[in-house]
Copies of this chain bind each other. A is one copy, B any other.
Amino acid sequence: MTGYELAKAFDASLSFVWQAQTSQIYRELNALEKNGCLTSERVIQDEKPNKRVYSITDAGREQLRQWLMEPEAGADGAASVKSAFLMRLFFAGEVGDEQALNMLCAYREACLASSVALDEVAGSIAQYGEYVRSEERTKYWGIVAQFGESFCRAGIEWAEKAIALLEGDE
């Protein structure tokens, strides 16, 4: 793929789990090429800008495998969330219930929006799935998408309870 295509693929499938700007993608592609994990080839196009197509090398795939096999996977900090939103909420005593309620409502809406986006991801999975044509790969994509759905559902329920609690206080 090209850097540009990678950026889009990220967006269409992994965006819930990982976001990456093109600036970062190109930087990392350079680094990966330097250490032999991938190769690139310039493709001249007319009608469209030229592009650079990257391909993984055997060494690269081997490193990927090794990363995937690391034993701490799942056990490390996976069961925590780094969230500026929750930080803010934690300190909401400083500004009062009104802003806390705003935040919680906005969060609830954001969860609903993410749910919708995840439905679209399901579509993308089907599409890329045809391209890859391998149950072996796509089934994990679905599992990750399901995580997103559970997360959103839990988030909505939690926000609603918290809203009820704060409104009961007033």
Contact = CB atoms under 8 A, between A and B. Distances in A.
Interface string A129-170: 000001011111101101110111111011001100110010
Taken together, the copies of this chain in the complex come to 2
A102 B75 CA distance: 10
A82 B137 contact: no
Interface string A88-102: 111111111001101
A75 B105 CA distance: 9
A62 B21 CA distance: 33
Interface stretch (A11-19, A23-31, A46-54): A11-19
B85 A82 contact: no
Contact of A68 (B82, B91, B114, B153): B91
Interface of A: 13-19, 61, 64-65, 67-69, 71-96, 99-100, 102-107, 109-111, 113-114, 134, 136-141, 143-144, 146-148, 150-155, 157-158, 161-162, 165-166, 169
